[in-house]
Chains A and B, each alone.
Chain A
Amino acid sequence: MTAEERKLYVKIQATEQMKKLITDYYIEAKTAEGTDRPVCWITSGGPVEFLIAMDVIPVYPENHGAMCGASRMSVELAEVAEKMGFSRDLCSYARGDIGSAVTKGGPIGGLPKPDFLLACNNICGTVFKWYQELARYFDVPMFLMDTPFIHKVKTEHATEYVRQQCLELVGFLEERTGKEFSSDRFAEVALLSVEAVDLWKQVLITAEHRPSPFTCFDAFIHMAPIVTLRGTQQVVDYYKLLVQEMRQRVEDGVSAVPEEKYRLIWDNIPIWYEMRNLGNLFASNKACLVADTYTTAWAVDIRIDEPLTSMADAYTKVYLNISIDLMIEQLLDLMQRYDADGLVMHSNRSCKPYSLGQYDLAREVTEKTGKPALIIEADMTDSRVYSEAQVRERVEAFIESLG
């Protein structure tokens, strides 16, 4: 790190703890391969509480994809998939994951082989096709949790359909694990999940303070536990630590970005391989990305009195499973709560549900708030489509226009 960068970077103490948490988790997952503790690959929007309750180890190819992206290893993995005939226009998480599965490549020597797969299409339709390929490759069963898209209004029959699938999932897991599903254990896990989600929300809320104690680049790193280990005690303990540290920063007036002048909202999945450079680019221009739509997605509301129905409900209503006119409400809420000066949208080639509609959303936000929006074209892990010069130009021009 250069002296310049050091000035711009305020290290979060809890990071060490988080790294240990995630490392232990991956070690446990990799050493489970071949034992009788089942490993299940699950999508980021999947109802992991069921897996935790059945003592199944959840593994997240998307989280692994982010790691590959951050380590700049995604391209070589994607090329393996492309040689197999998978189009370069397909989601780069999928291409990288298929490449990693086949070569055991990536920063941790690949993921442990799954015993079965759980895909929930609340985030996109790509996961269904991607996991279908994985099921074929590994020759393991797959469960597709189908959460119908919400165009304006969620129907009752859709809720019932998802609820029924939760029951089907229980049956599927009982068959795969040979164990019986315990409602008590499930309630325990659900409770821990709710607690962790609530703590994560508390962390995110500290950024409403001016100046913000952390940037969304920090949040992208610290979200790993809520995504991968939701429902466990360790995750609750971890976020208690993080909330404390962030609240302390607020009290001490610690600003993540020295001389925070502009507060911005980020939209879409991060550009994983450019986190540091982008972080510095914004910080050196006195801009702090104070909140984003990605980390706020893991703020799922579950009611303990009706865990199954409320879970079905929660997983169906995620940000990517709702129509544009519903997304706009969440965006406007973020703009307002965080007192934002503008919106930065990553037009991510790999993610159609997140990116298509951004142009309309950007116009709507500007119309309703008077604040401008910037669109950056890139990809979350495929660095071949990233142009540093172009992004720099756009970001600087945008910040100049904020006055």
Chain B
Amino acid sequence: MTDSLSRLMELRDDPFRWARDWKERTGGKAVGFFCCYAPEEIIHAAGALPVRITGENRVTSKSGAHLQSYCCSLARTSLDMALTGDLEFLDGTVFVHTCDTMQRLSDIWRLNAGYAFHGDVVLPVRFEGDAALEYMREELASFRKRVSDNIGPVDDSVLARSIKLYNRNRGLLAELYRLRREDPGIIPSDEALWLVASSALVEKSEHNAMLEEAIAGLKGSSAKPDEKVRLFVAGSVMDQWDFLKMVENVGGTIVDDDFCTGHRYFDAEVPLDGDPIEGIARRLTDRGSCPCKYLPSSDRASCLLDRIGESGARGAIFFQFKFCDPHSFDYPYIKKTLDEEGIPSLHLEIEHDSVSTEQLRTRVEALLETIRGC
């Protein structure tokens, strides 16, 4: 393992440590965000560090006074972290319009969490049509102005520079995935997905440097014989490292995914020709969408099917957080599509406050048995 790779892996024990250190080092501001549609480049260009919050495995204590239990644990545990002071290093947070729960969480957070800066980026739900794109550009421009007024100036050249750094990161992560699809043995599933997740916790230019070294090291490493069953996993946030390790332990390996903390995070690059805001907007719309977005020209099930085929995956796991409406609505039709193609799949529903890897193990093993044909 290269030095960079070890440094990145160590971060997993205390994900926000890097952000705290960075703040001390540079005196800069840290701005939290939740969704991979957040225009991070704008925050980065203002000299701040965008830090992704995806909840954590914990039993909540204070969030129950603000949120009913029938919303996802991403929202509940994130709020709990804020209310108990676990996110005191943040100087602000950005909420991008995602779903009903995040929409209300934004209000509750703004009224109770007490951070100096609160940015709402109300992106459209429609990702097609001139009116929607025009609105998206205006909303991004408005966000840029608010960041400029409250965090730091965001002029075109600085923004262009940030975009280049982000594109480089996206390219590197895409390369990592390519290498893994060719030879999953070079790095275990949990580490590969952590490399993506860590990108949203570390400043981009520093992450690029570490990632470059880590990938170079992986290329050079001898490939272990690949006997594991190739799997494709889809969902929203993937932050269950014990689960991923377990999948490998029982003989599976995740060769590709559709997670917003995985593939969707780095998918596509911002076009560099033209206005940077326009470019950011175009990247958001010109790529595979998530269930929260309305993009009638793109059929999510067939996109996933194509990617499953390309990755050589023999089965799929739907890894969903309980109470996630957008993903739950998509599930029946995607499952039907996979069934029609004869691709075995497994549906798992979890909550951050009560994960049981043992129970999940049995189900994953059963899927592998189905795939192997026993």
A125-B125, A151-B120, A164-B131 given; A352·B101 CB < 8 A: yes
Report the minimal beta-carbon distance from A54 to chain B, rounded to whole angstroms.
Answer: 20
Rounded to whole angstroms, the CA-CA distance of A125 and B65 in the bound complex is 24
Mark interface residues in B313-332 (1 if CB within 8 Å of A CB, else 0): 00000000011011011111
A177 at the interface (CB under 8 A from B): no
The answer to whether A161 and B132 touch (CB under 8 A), given A356-B105, A359-B65, is: yes
Write out the residue numbers on chain B whose beta carbons fall within 8 Å of the beta carbon of A130: 329
Q: Which of A33-41, A44-52, A142-150, A255-263 contacts B (4 or more CB under 8 A)?
A: A142-150
Rounded to whole angstroms, the CA-CA distance of A300 and B202 in the bound complex is: 48
Asked whether any CB of chain A lies closer than 8 Å to the CB of B97, the reply is: yes
User: Interface with A: B13-21, B134-142, B161-169, B229-237, which one?
Assistant: B134-142
The answer to whether the Cβ of A234 comes within 8 Å of any Cβ in the partner chain is no
Asked whether A149 and B108 contact (CB < 8 A) given A89-B328, A129-B326, A165-B131, the answer is no
Assess whether A158 is in contact with B132, with CB atoms less than 8 Å apart: no
CB distance from A226 to the nearest CB of B (A): 25
Contact across chains for A86 and B108 when beta carbons are under 8 A apart: no
- Given A87-B328, A324-B104, A356-B108: A155 in contact with B65 (beta carbons within 8 A): no
Taken residue by residue from 102 to 123, chain B's Cβ proximity to chain A (1 for < 8 Å, 0 otherwise) reads as: 0111111011100000001010
B294 touches A146 (CB 8 A): yes
* Whole-angstrom distance between the Cβ of B153 and the nearest chain A Cβ: 22
Which chain B residues in 324-366 approach chain A with CB under 8 Å?
A: 325-326, 328-333, 335-336, 349
In the assembly, what is the distance between CA of A84 and CA of B120, in Å?
36
Q: Are B108 and A360 in contact (CB under 8 A)?
A: yes
B104, B291, B331 pick with most chain A CB within 10 angstroms: B104
Residues of A contacting B138 in the complex (Cβ-Cβ under 8 angstroms): 155, 157
User: B66 an interface residue at 8 Å Cβ cutoff?
Assistant: yes
Does any Cβ of A come within 8 Å of B68's Cβ?
Answer: yes
Q: How far is the CA of A355 from the CA of B70 in the complex (A)?
A: 10
| Contact of A65 with B by CB under 8 A | no
Q: Please tell me if the beta carbons of A129 and B323 are within 8 angstroms of each other in the complex.
A: no
Interface size class of B (residues with CB under 8 A): 35 or more
Q: Is B126 an interface residue (CB 8 A)?
A: yes
Distance from A349 Cβ to chain B, minimum over Cβ atoms (Å): 5
Tell yes or no: B71 within 8 A of A by CB. Answer: yes
Task: List the A side residues contacting B99 at CB < 8 Å.
Answer: 125
Highest count of chain A CB atoms <10 Å: which of B112, B129, B325: B325
> A157 — which chain B residues lie within 8 A by C-beta?
134-135, 138-139, 142
Q: Is A132 on the interface with B (CB-CB < 8 A)?
A: yes
User: For B126, B333, B335, which residue has the most chain A Cβ atoms within 10 angstroms?
Assistant: B126
- The answer to whether A125 touches B124, judged by C-beta atoms less than 8 angstroms apart, is no
Question: How far is A151 from B332 in the complex, measured between Cα atoms in Å?
Answer: 33
- In contact, A324 and B122 (Cβ under 8 angstroms): no
A160 at the B interface (CB under 8 A): yes
Structural contact, B132 and A126, CB atoms closer than 8 A: no
A residues 126-180 with Cβ under 8 Å of B? 126, 128-130, 132-133, 136, 142, 144, 146, 148-149, 151, 155, 157-158, 160-161, 164-165, 168
CA gap between A157 and B121 in the complex, in Å: 13
Task: Kindly report which residue of chain A lies nearest to residue B118, judged by CB atoms.
Answer: A151
Known contacts A87-B328, A89-B323, A165-B131; decide if A148 and B97 are in contact (CB<8 Å). yes
Chain A residue nearest to B138 in the complex (CB)? A157
Question: Chain A: which residue is nearest B67 at the CB level?
Answer: A356
Q: Is there contact, CB below 8 Å, between B333 and A136?
A: yes
Interface membership of B9, Cβ < 8 A: no
User: Is B100 part of the binding interface, using a Cβ–Cβ cutoff of 8 Å?
Assistant: yes
Given contacts A148-B135, A149-B122, A168-B129, contact A357 B108 (CB under 8 A): yes
| A324 contact from B101, B107, B135, Cβ within 8 A | B107
Chain A positions within 8 Å of B106 at CB level: 151, 323
A353 touches B100 (CB 8 A): yes
B223-244: CB near A (< 8 Å → 1, else 0) gives 0000000000000000000000
**In the complex, A5 has a CB within 8 A of chain B:** no
Q: Given that A128-B125, A133-B329 are contacting pairs, would A89 and B65 also be in contact in the complex, using a CB cutoff of 8 Å?
A: no
Q: A22 to B103, alpha carbons, bound, how many Å?
A: 35
The contact of B111 among A89, A360, A377, by CB within 8 Å, is A360
Residue contact A144 to B131, C-beta cutoff 8 Å? no
Cβ contacts under 8 Å, B335 to chain A = 85
Do A352 and B125 touch across chains, with their CB atoms under 8 A apart? no
Q: Shortest distance in angstroms between A386's beta carbon and chain B's nearest beta carbon?
A: 14
Question: Are A126 and B100 interface neighbours, CB within 8 A?
Answer: yes
Which B residue's beta carbon lies closest to that of A133? B329
A395 on the interface (CB 8 Å rule)?
A: no
Residue pair B104, A89 in contact (C-beta under 8 Å): no
User: Is A205 engaged at the interface, CB distance under 8 Å to the other chain?
Assistant: no
Task: Determine the distance from Cα of A358 to Cα of B329 in the docked complex, in whole angstroms.
Answer: 25
5 more A-B residue pairs beyond the given contacts A125-B292, A356-B71, A359-B65, with a C-beta to C-beta distance below 8 A: A86-B332, A125-B100, A155-B138, A157-B135, A359-B67
- Measured CB to CB, the residues of B under 8 A from A are 65-68, 70-71, 97, 99-101, 103-108, 110-112, 120, 122, 124-126, 129-132, 134-135, 138-139, 142, 291-292, 294, 296, 322-323, 325-326, 328-333, 335-336, 349
Which A residues lie at the B interface, using CB under 8 A? Answer: 84-87, 89-91, 94, 121, 124-126, 128-130, 132-133, 136, 142, 144, 146, 148-149, 151, 155, 157-158, 160-161, 164-165, 168, 323-325, 347, 349, 352-353, 355-360, 377
What 3 A-B pairs have minimum CB-CB distances, sorted nearest first?
A85-B332, A164-B131, A157-B138
| 14 examples of A-B residue contacts, CB within 8 angstroms | A85-B331, A125-B103, A133-B332, A133-B333, A142-B296, A144-B294, A149-B103, A151-B107, A164-B134, A325-B107, A357-B107, A357-B108, A359-B65, A360-B66
